[in-house]
Chains A and B, each alone.
Chain A
């Protein structure tokens, strides 16, 4: 079946360094991808999105890269801060007349002070 997954379950990064979280997806028909951040005890929070007709999109301290050839998505966080510690999910939007989000397993980002 269709799925969205992540390469690394845990990522430890020194404060101030850049973080890169990777994600592989299997549905080549997906045309919209989202990164979410989930802190302990909270629901997922939208970070940034990208459409399949783009290969890069930048936000505040975050950049999402999309490589459709190898079906790979990445989230780059610049100057990682302790507040960035959370679980990060990539997700894809399923078409079909309604908005269904298919989430991956998640990567836990630990920022070392």
Chain B
């Protein structure tokens, strides 16, 4: 049974560029959340989506956006990349947003140069 899959696993972008990260939740899971983890720190909440609607947003600038598709997969978009956006971006899925049911993917490592 496949877990949460994220693509790509690694990515290098230049300052000012745009990036799209993708997440496929566990089959049957309707909630997807995105987190940013800077090296040496804990993950920081970015967004939560449930049934294709945004349910929560963390303290991130408008350069960050996301959406959830009818098949419950999700994309995280970041515009006008800054060096400080370099981080591991984690996606987590759950059946209905129940915390202990969250399963994290292995993340996408984004490096902005």
Task: Please say whether chains A and B are actual partners in one complex.
Answer: yes
For A4, list chain B residues within 8 Å (CB): 42
Are A100 and B41 in contact, CB atoms less than 8 angstroms apart?
no
Which of A41, A42, A100, A103 is within 8 Å of B56, CB to CB? Answer: A100
Contacting residues, chain A, for B50 (C-beta < 8 A): 98
Is the beta-carbon distance between B104 and A45 smaller than 8 angstroms?
A: yes
Contact B106 A41 (CB under 8 A): yes
0/1 interface trace, chain A 78-113, chain B, CB 8 Å (1 if under): 000000000001010100111111111110000000
Query: Do A99 and B33 have beta carbons less than 8 Å apart?
Result: yes
Q: Which residue of B has the minimal Cβ distance to A5?
A: B42
- Cα separation A80 to B33 with both chains bound (whole Å): 32
Complex-state Cα separation, A101 to B42, whole angstroms? 10
Residues in B with CB closer than 8 Å to A99 are: 31, 33, 48, 56, 94, 97-99, 102
| Known A-B contacts A97-B55, A106-B42; A43 and B100 likewise in contact (beta carbons under 8 Å) | no
Asked if B41 contacts A46 (CB within 8 A), the reply is: no
- The distance in angstroms between the C-alpha atoms of A106 and B44, with both chains bound, is 12
Instruction: Give Cα A100–Cα B41 distance, bound, in whole angstroms.
Output: 17
Interface string of A1-33 (1 = CB under 8 A from B): 000100000000000000000000000000010
Q: Is A91 in contact with B102, judged by CB distance below 8 angstroms?
A: no
List of 5 A-B pairs having minimum Cβ-Cβ separation, nearest first: A43-B104, A103-B42, A98-B56, A98-B55, A99-B97
Residues of A within 8 A of B (CB): 4, 32, 34, 41-46, 49, 89, 91, 93, 96-106
B interface, CB within 8 angstroms of A: 4, 31, 33, 35, 40-45, 48, 50, 55-56, 58, 90, 92, 94, 97-100, 102, 104-107
